[in-house]
Amino acid sequence: IADFMVPGADPRIYEEIADMSQLQPTIEEYLGEYNADSKQPMPLVMFMDAIQHVARITRVLRQPKGNILLLGVGGSGRQSLTRLATFMCDYKIFGIEITKGFGMNEWRESLKEVLLYAGIKAQPVVFLFSDTQIVFEAMLEDINNVLNTGDVPNIYAVEDTETIMTTCKQDCVRRRIQPTKLNIFAQYVARVMANIHLVLAMSPLGEAFRNRLRKFPSIVNCCTIDWFMEWPQEALHSVATRSLSEEDLKLGDENAHLPSCVTFFKDAHVYVARRSEAFKAELGRYNYVTPTSYLELLATYKQVLGLKRDEVGTLKNRLQVGLDKLISTATQVEALQVKLTEMEPVLIKTQGEVEAMIVRIDADKKDAAATQEVVAAEESSAREKEAETQAIADDAQRDLDEALPALEEAVKCLNSLKKSDIDEVRTMGKPPAGVKLTMEACCIMFSVKPEMEKDPANPGKKIANYFKSAQKEVLSLGAKLIDKMKSYDKDNIPTKIIAQIAPYIDMEGFMPAVIEKASKACTAMCMWVRAMHKYHEVSVMVEPKKKLLAEATESLAVTQAALAEAQGKLNAVMAKIADLEKNFNEANAKKEQLKNDVEECAARLERAEKLIGGLGGERTRWTESCGTLGVAYDNLIGDSLLSAATIAYTGPFTPNFRQVMTKHWQEQLTELALPHTDGCDIRQTLADPVAIRTWTICGLPQDASSVENGIIMSRARRFPLLIDPQGQANRFIKNMGKDLALAQNGIEVTKLTEKNFLRTLENAVRFGRWVLLENVGKTLDAALEPLLLQQKFLQGGTEMIKIGDSTIPWNDTFKFFMTTKLSNPHYAPEVCVKVSLLNFAITPVGLEDQLLGVVVVEERPDMEEKKNSLVIANASMKKELKEIEDTILFKLSNSTGNILDDHELIETLASSKKTSTEITAKVAEAEITEKEIDESRELYRPVAFRATILYFSIVNLSVVDPMYQYSLQWFTALFVAAIRLAEKADTLDERLDILNKFFTYYVYVNVCRSLFEKDKLLLSFLMTIKILDGDGEIDPVEWRFLISGKTVESVTLDNPAPEGAPSGWIDGRMWSEVCAISGTENFKGFAKDFATYIDEWRKYFDHVEPHKVSLPSKWEFSLNSFQKLCVLRALRADKIPDGVMNYVVEKVGQRFIEPPPFHLASCYKDSSNLTPLVFVLSKGSDPTKAFNIFCQEMRFDRKVKALSLGQGQG
């Protein structure tokens, strides 16, 4: 039942959901809208279990006074689903942010803001509060008050009270209640209670939760409880399927391996949860597997798979390209040799042809030179005649140029004439004198005869009337008249016409300016007539010059013809020479090309020999590597699964548990038929030899567990929190931080107790430095949460993160490490999901290597120094070798065209290979030397082995009493002191025996000083058992029986003399232990034989000192001393201390059961200026007198100062 199935509905209808198939799409639609609006989107997978939680939270929030308590481990989705449910209800959500210096004042201000929002604005609001944000228990008291009454005493300031009174007074008026302060505030509280919804996310683990429920009952009474249990199989399946399907991971053909991968993820998650329970049962260590761990597993798998595919794919491609180039080069060599053999004869022949051409060209050039002289003389004569002809032409042209402007002006005027202008003149009845005069001139020019009319002034005579003739024959042409004038043959005007027109030219009345007054059309005609006359006069003057020009031109043509003939001959000769030179150039170019080809071919052969000689030896290895990498690429699907599971889950586990888990996952890969490498593990898949050597130099122990820790640190997305009781991880990280090749900007070391540790973190994030946070306790500062969760966001295109109350730009070179000295810390799930928890506790193998180095430094410092130098040199050289090979492959794979033409590349490759060969030889030589040194160092391993056994003997004493704590640094200093104090010997074997015996007793003496008397025999026994176990003399099954009285297999026989029966003396415990030990290999038939010799065993049981008497029957001779202790435990457990004492004396000597008396001088001798002596006193003891006497003996009594740290005196 829900009211959110119709997004945006108003009002919302609370109804049953009939179609469940619509539920998931609706929730996912809400989630998509939330992610689109939020700065921090939530990539959630809405499976049915999560949808049910969202529906529950939504249902509670929609109810008045609806508050909810979400119970589950950290990382189960409580806060994410609350934010989604709040968004679906369209409410505002509030939460607190723990910052630097966060105190009760800040808490009260945040809480007051929420209360005022609910009461003043009267809007529904959700307050999300997690138990990880509890800085002070008083915060829960305020939460309890809000849940119970809606108010927190004394939280409001005066101005807040005034705002409340002003806002809520109207509620009293509306309800007809007296608006007193008390009534108004009651209305405000009612508003708060109606609108505020508290969501408390808490973990049910630990005492703290139970205590809080007892102290603050409203957390349960006023809240609806929703339990977040572990994810069901359906949730694991859907989340994995969704995660792997978001992008194409190419999990086989058409993602055929996807279902198997999902099955692996589900099995891994459930299996680790089971192993965590065994981890708790066997070792008392806690590890939590949460949904967040599962999500981290999925994200890690995709990261590892992509990373390894890029790495393997790139390397394979480079090797393949390099191999192809080598094969191509080898193929080209034979072809180049054949080509070179063929080209050399052709080059010799072509060279001879070119030399013959040179002789012919020289002869033809001499002939051409003679012809060229003749042509030059004729050409000079032609140029002179051409100049004379041009001068005549220029003179004639100058005369013509005088008439041309008038002609052009006339033509221009004609162009401006229109037919209407001509028609106007034609229609004149009595034309002006200018018009008549112009028409007369035009008629003369066109040879039009005038009409003869009677002369009115002289009767009997006739006068010529040109105007009428012009009207009929000239003006009647209209527009054609203009064209006729333009096309008039001005070069052939008859002399008669010129003679007739000459008088008109001289008339003042026939000037254009005068005619223009009479008619526009006549003006143009006048100008045209005058221009024709002028042109004719100039033509008459130019005519003799034209004739002279024609004669000169004709003479020039003859000269030019002769010149052309000579030039033709010259051109023919020059063409022949050019043709010869062309052929010569072609032949010479061919010869040069052949020569270059021969040289290039020879150079290619030389470069090919260099390339093959330098890299030819790599061909076989690269071929094998390509095949291996091809298989490895396909196997990455399974290999990455196991590596991702190791990174996500195995960090907190001890080496034995890790091995069991890895083996299980390997079997799971085989069962699911997933492609994987046989025996794959995280070291085989993700280890980088160069990086591991660098880590080793920085102090990382070389045992498998430590190397795995180093890989997980480098690959995990979350910042590491290292369980480091011996401090070796701390030293390792500090040494790495000093190496600028690893930490470019150095490292900062800080502690949670330092006031400015957040400031240190802020600066480190900003400038990309490493940070080591030391001495972390069982909890982490809440202000670290944004950093641990890496809550980065974009602001102005830059990645930012908020630390405390500061927003800092994110630098990708920043790294964060945390270490704790707690040997078995119990971190809450909320902490585990935020960090990558790694167990860096020292292992026997790692400690043995460290102590071997210590003993060799003391015994053979020269050899250890040489060893360390060789390790560093070898690491450097192997790193350089790897870089050279990467460079060779990179250059080969990125070369274009024919590789044999790249002279620089070939030289670089040859030089690189030469350097590589030299380094390889040095590495081989150094490895031989290192092996010899290692063989010498191995001679001292028995001492390191004994010391390792002793350390793990005493380090577990903390189980007996928490006060018994022994650091590795103290133990190492003790070891060094013992080596220096032990007697010298002539032979190495004697020296080793002396060292082992001396140090064993030296440890016993120093540890005994710090033990209660009752525990000293236990120390002796533990040391004895561990030493014998190291020598293989202790059966684990028998040792387990001695401790617990249990074995894996037990026989079933009836008690031959049960207690309570007549003459019965064997109780149930005794007989069960006899049957239990009879199931072991060395006690076969013991219970049956016991029943047979029941009377002898009764004597053994009744003896006052059974630990000293012989066993009945064959068992006295078939059992060793330890096995006799097992019999003593079964029958007379009360005598075990005496039996243990005898056993210690027998195996290691009497002195190990005689604790040395307290002697202050000896204690002083074993201490140093950096190791204080601390006296742990019991009632009635006072070492002051003994201390003062010792000071006098040391002549130090006047320099001693006493300081009391009692109450009020510190």
Give the CA-trace dihedral at 389, 394, 395, 398, to 10 degrees: 160
State the pLDDT confidence band at 444, using cuts at 50, 70 and 90: confident
Q: What's the CA angle centered on 264, arms 260 and 268, to 5 degrees?
A: 175
Q: What is the pTM of this model?
A: 0.70
CA–CA distance, 732 with 696 (Å, rounded to integer): 9
pLDDT score of 459 more than 80: no
pLDDT digits (tens, 9 = 90+) for 701-736: 888 889 999 999 998 989 999 999 888 899 999 999
Q: What does the DSSP assignment read for 728-749?
A: HHHHHHHHHHH-TTT-TT-EEE
What mean pLDDT is predicted for residues 1077-1091? 90
pLDDT digits (tens, 9 = 90+) for 851-893: 888 888 888 888 777 777 777 777 777 677 677 767 766 766 6
Position 70 scores a pLDDT of 94
Query: Which residue would you say has higher pLDDT here, 552 or 241?
Result: 241
Position 1024 scores a pLDDT of 94
What are the backbone angles phi and psi of residue 309, rounded to the nearest 5°? -65, -40
pLDDT score of 1210 more than 50: no
State the pLDDT confidence band at 436, using cuts at 50, 70 and 90: confident
What are the backbone angles phi and psi of residue 430, rounded to the nearest 5°? -125, 90
Asked if residues 796 and 805 have their Cβ atoms less than 8 Å apart, the reply is no
pLDDT digits (tens, 9 = 90+) for 1162-1206: 788 777 777 778 887 777 777 888 888 888 888 887 788 887 776
Least confident of 102-111, 448-457, 702-711, 1074-1083: 448-457
User: In Å, what is the CA distance from 479 to each residue of 410, 414, 418, 422?
Assistant: 16, 10, 7, 8
Position 719 scores a pLDDT of 94
pLDDT score of 649 more than 90: yes
State the pLDDT confidence band at 225, using cuts at 50, 70 and 90: very high
SS3 12: coil
pLDDT score of 614 more than 60: no
Position 128 scores a pLDDT of 94
- Give the tokens for residue 794: 């974009």
pLDDT score of 1094 more than 60: yes
User: In Å, what is the CA distance from 913 to each residue of 138, 612, 620?
Assistant: 71, 11, 16
pLDDT digits (tens, 9 = 90+) for 636-646: 999 999 999 99
- Give the tokens for residue 945: 């082995």
Position 597 scores a pLDDT of 65
State the pLDDT confidence band at 323, using cuts at 50, 70 and 90: low
pLDDT digits (tens, 9 = 90+) for 733-764: 999 999 888 888 999 999 988 888 888 999 99
pLDDT digits (tens, 9 = 90+) for 113-149: 999 999 998 899 999 999 888 888 899 999 999 999 9
State the pLDDT confidence band at 593, using cuts at 50, 70 and 90: low
Least confident of 432-436, 573-577, 682-686, 700-704: 573-577
pLDDT digits (tens, 9 = 90+) for 86-104: 999 999 999 888 776 778 8
Asked if residues 668 and 261 have their Cβ atoms less than 8 Å apart, the reply is no
Query: Which residue would you say has higher pLDDT here, 343 or 1054?
Result: 1054
Asked if residues 638 and 676 have their Cβ atoms less than 8 Å apart, the reply is yes
pLDDT score of 419 more than 60: yes
Position 670 scores a pLDDT of 92
The radius of gyration of the chain from alpha carbons, rounded to an integer in Å, stands at 57
CA–CA distance, 63 with 86 (Å, rounded to integer): 13
What mean pLDDT is predicted for residues 591-611? 64
Position 844 scores a pLDDT of 87
Q: What does the DSSP assignment read for 497-547?
A: HHHHHHHHHH-GGGSHHHHHHH-HHHHHHHHHHHHHHHHHHHHHHHHHHHH
What mean pLDDT is predicted for residues 280-286? 88
Least confident of 121-135, 552-566, 892-906: 892-906
% the chain with pLDDT above 70: 85
Least confident of 129-133, 424-428, 515-519, 549-553: 549-553
How far the first Cα of the chain sits from its last, in Å, is 67
Tell me how crowded residue 733 is: count the other CB atoms within 10 A of its CB: 28
Asked if residues 537 and 491 have their Cβ atoms less than 8 Å apart, the reply is no
- Give the tokens for residue 1134: 């009360």
State the pLDDT confidence band at 601, using cuts at 50, 70 and 90: low
- Give the tokens for residue 256: 């055929």
Nearest to 776 by CA among 757, 797, 800: 757
Position 817 scores a pLDDT of 95
454, exposed or middle or buried, with CB in 10 Å at 0-12, 13-18, 19+? exposed
Average predicted confidence (pLDDT) for the chain = 83
Least confident of 448-452, 536-540, 1144-1148: 536-540
What mean pLDDT is predicted for residues 466-479? 77
Q: Which helix (H) or strand (E) holds 10?
A: none
CA–CA distance, 427 with 422 (Å, rounded to integer): 9
**Hey, which bits of 21-143 come out as E strands?**
68-71, 92-95, 125-130
Tell me how crowded residue 1109 is: count the other CB atoms within 10 A of its CB: 12
Nearest to 132 by CA among 780, 690, 872: 780
pLDDT digits (tens, 9 = 90+) for 354-387: 667 777 777 776 776 676 677 667 667 667 776 7
pLDDT digits (tens, 9 = 90+) for 790-832: 888 888 888 999 887 788 999 999 999 999 998 889 888 888 8
In angstroms, how far apart are the furthest CA atoms of the chain?
208
What mean pLDDT is predicted for residues 337-353? 66
pLDDT score of 528 more than 90: no
CA–CA distance, 143 with 1125 (Å, rounded to integer): 61
Give the CA-trace dihedral at 158, 160, 163, 164, to 10 degrees: -100
Least confident of 434-438, 622-626, 896-900: 896-900
